[in-house]
């Protein structure tokens, strides 16, 4: 993560030590990291996916509402946190890269430097019993 804002570097370090799934993006929505607990929900190790642009990661897991309708990328909590610069929460279904269908709940919030510059966003999520 060279040349990245310190807030992203520190958030990645924190995420790597948390027991809950965490997904980290930069200000453009590019996936920078997800931690080991997230790997279990997403169905693939981060080392296998690497950094991904928002158009790719936001559709890769096929997010859908309870009724099966596809959730557009801009309506995902993490993209809301980046673009609207506010916290967002949601529940939806994803298809992990291992083929497993999972219902998740997620809370995302922007990462903002002193002075108000948004540098990215982070989502904490978990699988729910549905």
Predicted local distance difference test score (pLDDT) of residue 2: 56
> Could you give the CA distance from residue 5 to residue 37 in angstroms, rounded to a whole number?
24
Q: How many CB atoms lie within 10 A of CB 127?
A: 16
Pairing of strands 101-112, 118-127: antiparallel
Helix or strand holding residue 107 (H, E): strand 101-112
pLDDT tens digit at each of 130 positions of the chain: 458 999 999 999 999 999 999 999 999 999 999 999 999 999 999 999 999 998 898 888 999 999 999 999 899 999 999 999 999 999 999 999 899 999 999 999 999 999 999 999 999 999 998 6
Domains of the chain in sequence order: 6-127 (3.30.450.20)
| Radius of gyration of the chain, Cα coordinates, nearest whole angstrom | 14
List, for residues 102-118, the tens digit of each pLDDT value.
Answer: 999 999 999 999 999 99
> Could you give the CA distance from residue 106 to residue 89 in angstroms, rounded to a whole number?
6
> Could you give the CA distance from residue 114 to residue 61 in angstroms, rounded to a whole number?
33
- What predicted TM-score, i.e. pTM, was given to this entire model? 0.91
Helix (H, G, I), strand (E, B) or coil at 101: strand
Predicted local distance difference test score (pLDDT) of residue 83: 94
Sign of CA dihedral 72, 74, 80, 81: positive
Helix (H, G, I), strand (E, B) or coil at 28: coil
> Could you give the CA distance from residue 35 to residue 63 in angstroms, rounded to a whole number?
19
């Amino acid at each position: 993560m060279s040349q990245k804002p310190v807030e992203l570097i520190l958030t990645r370090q924190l995420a790597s030590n948390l027991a809950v799934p965490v997904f980290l993006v930069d200000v453009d929505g590019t996936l920078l990291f997800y931690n080991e607990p997230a790997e279990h929900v997403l169905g693939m190790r981060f080392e296998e996916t690497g950094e991904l642009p928002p158009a790719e990661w936001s559709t890769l897991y096929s997010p859908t509402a309870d009724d099966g309708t596809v959730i557009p990328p801009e309506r995902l909590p993490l993209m809301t946190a980046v673009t609207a610069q506010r916290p967002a929460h949601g529940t939806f279904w994803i298809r992990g890269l291992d083929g497993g269908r999972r219902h998740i709940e997620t809370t995302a919030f922007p990462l903002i430097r002193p002075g108000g510059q948004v540098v990215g966003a982070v989502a904490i999520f978990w699988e729910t019993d549905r």
